[in-house]
Structure 1
Amino acid sequence: MIKRQACVPELSVSDLNHSLSFYLNILPFKMDYQRPEDKFAMISLEDCQMMLEETNEHWKTGELIYPFGRGINFQIQVRDIDELYRRIMEHQYPIKMEIQENWYRADDLLLGQKEFFNHGS
């Protein structure tokens, strides 16, 4: 039985196989399950889960223009960000922001994290 997180984003993609190739072969996500007849997959990496579904008319809320997902940013916490970054660089995926350490204020605390930003797939 798959434990589902309380909030699992579902991303519309133009080509499910292409997206799965990125997440499963370049990044170390694993396939939790899929419904090929619906062009749908549930994938996970450590405690992060995402659903991917090839675009269809059922969930369409507006015109989709590539690249999808403008204005949204997902933070995925992993044990080894350097390995994740190395895999993306090794496969020459475009990086918008190189890996760096950033500190953010949360009320009276400063929280530090290493992060980078890629365009995804």
Structure 2
Amino acid sequence: MIIPNRQHFSRGKGEENSLTPELIVMDINKSLNFYTKILDFKVIYDRPEKKFAMLEYQGSRLMINERNGWWETGKLEFPMGRGVNFQIKTDNIEKIRRLLNTHNYPVYQEIEEVWYRRGDKELGQKELLVQDPDGYLLRFAQDLGEKDWVH
């Protein structure tokens, strides 16, 4: 029997991420540069020989793997990830914007404040959207708290 080593998937205090997307990328080095040098993600672990890395940003994790023919369910072309965006929580959305500016990296949607109703409350966040080098849409979100919903 194989016993999984949960330490590799742990977020630290025995917690695990319920969902960790793995993104197929066309150039692992270009993607690593974008995520780690521009957006300040950290490499949790990698397998350079497999062109794979597990990344983390403030508790959000994702895996990137250079295209290798595995798990391709259809034609892969830019922009990747059509129809999906990945919300990534941040405690400082203005810092994300500054990092993108510093590297002259284009923004898909500038910072805006949005409120989403949940029952009789509204939950607020500032959002900023950017596409990674392969076109995956990343939505950075900073919590603004909640308020009563006015009908």
- The list of structure 1 runs, each at least 4 consecutive aligned residues, that deviate by more than 3 angstroms after superposition, is none
Identity of aligned residues (%): 45
Matched residue, 2:45 = 33
Match of 2:145 in 1: none
5+ long unaligned stretches in structure 1: none
Task: Specify the SS of the correspondent of 2:89.
Answer: coil
Alpha-carbon deviations, 1:28-63, whole Å to 9, x = none?
Answer: 100111111111100101110000001111121111
Note the alpha carbon deviations across 1:57-82, whole angstroms, 9 max, x for none.
Answer: 11211110112111111110011111
Using the size of structure 2 for normalisation, the TM-score is: 0.76
Which of these two proteins has the greater Rg computed from alpha carbons?
2
Which residue of structure 2 lines up, in the alignment, with residue 58 of structure 1? 70
Match of 1:22 in 2: 34
TM-score for both structures, normalised by structure 1: 0.94
Q: CA RMSD in A?
A: 1.2
Count residues in correspondence.
121
Pick which of 1-10 and 68-77 moved more.
Answer: 1-10
Q: What does 1:1-121 align with in structure 2 at a 5 Å threshold?
A: 1-2=7-8, 3=10, 4-121=16-133
